[in-house]
Amino acid sequence: MTKKRLLGIEISDLGVTAARLSESGAELLPLGSDSLELSGFALLTGKGEVEFGKPAFEQSLTSELAVDNRYWYRLATTEEDSGRKIRRRSQPGDSELAQAHLQAVIEKCLRLEGRIDEVVLGVPGHFKRSKLGWLIQAAQAVGMRVKHVMDSSLGALLSASEVPITGSFAVMDIHWNTAEAVHVVSKNSGLERRDVAEDRVLGLRQILDRLVEGLAKRFIDECRFDPSARPEYAQQLYNQLLAYLSDPNGASVCRLQTGKGAISTDRSALAEMIGNELRGFSDLAGRAVNQATDSRDCTVFFSSRIRLVPGLFEIIYQDYAIKPRLMEKGQAATGAVAFRGALSDNQAVDEPLFHTAVKFEASRERTSQAESMRPGRVYHSGREGILGPTNPTHLLFQGRLLELPEFGGADFAIGKSKSIPSGLAVAEPVKGLAQCHVLLRRKEDGSIELTRNGNNLTWVNGESFSSNDAITLQVGDVLTLGEPVLQVMIVGMARDDA
Q: Identify whether the C-beta of residue 118 lies closer than 8 Å to the C-beta of residue 140.
A: no
SS3 content of the chain, % helix, strand, coil (to 5): 30, 30, 45
pLDDT in tens, 292-301: 666 566 778 8
pTM of the model: 0.73
pLDDT in tens, 399-433: 667 888 888 888 898 888 877 878 888 877 778 88
Burial label, 430 (beta-carbon count in 10 A; 0-12, 13-18, 19+):
middle
Residue 94 sits in the same domain as residue 141:
yes
The reported pLDDT for the residue numbered 491 is 64
User: How many domains does the chain divide into?
Assistant: 2
Residue 305 domain-assigned?
A: no
Residue 467 sits in the same domain as residue 447:
yes
Residue 10 domain-assigned?
A: yes
Q: Is the dihedral of CA 481, 401, 333, 31 positive or negative?
A: positive
Compare 361 and 66 and report the one with higher pLDDT.
66
Q: Identify whether the C-beta of residue 207 lies closer than 8 Å to the C-beta of residue 271.
A: no
Residue 11 sits in the same domain as residue 153:
yes
Among residues 67, 27, 74, 19, the alpha carbon closest in space to that of 43 is found at 67
H helical segments located in 114-230: 132-141, 152-158, 204-223
pLDDT in tens, 293-352: 665 667 788 888 888 888 888 888 777 766 678 888 889 999 888 887 776 554 545 456
pLDDT in tens, 151-200: 899 888 888 877 777 778 888 899 999 999 888 888 766 788 888 888 88
DSSP state of 447: -
Q: Domain holding 38: CATH number?
A: 3.30.420.40
Q: Domain holding 432: CATH number?
A: 2.60.200.20
Residue 24 sits in the same domain as residue 142:
yes
Residue 468 sits in the same domain as residue 336:
no
Give me the domain span that covers residue 404: 394-491
439 Cβ neighbours under 8 A, 6+ residues apart = 411, 412, 413, 414, 450, 451, 452, 453
Mean pLDDT of 247-270: 82
Q: Alpha carbon of 330 to those of 117, 335, 452, 471: distances in Å?
A: 20, 9, 47, 43
The distance of Cα 230 from the centroid of its chain, to the nearest Å, equals 35
Other Cβ atoms closer than 10 A to 92: 22
Q: Is the dihedral of CA 32, 204, 208, 13 positive or negative?
A: positive
Q: Is the peptide bond before 375 cis (omega within 30 degrees of 0)?
A: no
C-alpha triplet 148, 495, 281: angle, nearest 5°: 85
Provide the residue type at 451 as one letter: T
Q: Alpha carbon of 398 to those of 137, 413, 425, 487: distances in Å?
A: 8, 17, 13, 9
The reported pLDDT for the residue numbered 297 is 65
Residue 484 domain-assigned?
A: yes
CA distance 314 to 20: 34
Mean pLDDT of the chain: 77
Residue 409 domain-assigned?
A: yes
Residue 144 sits in the same domain as residue 123:
yes
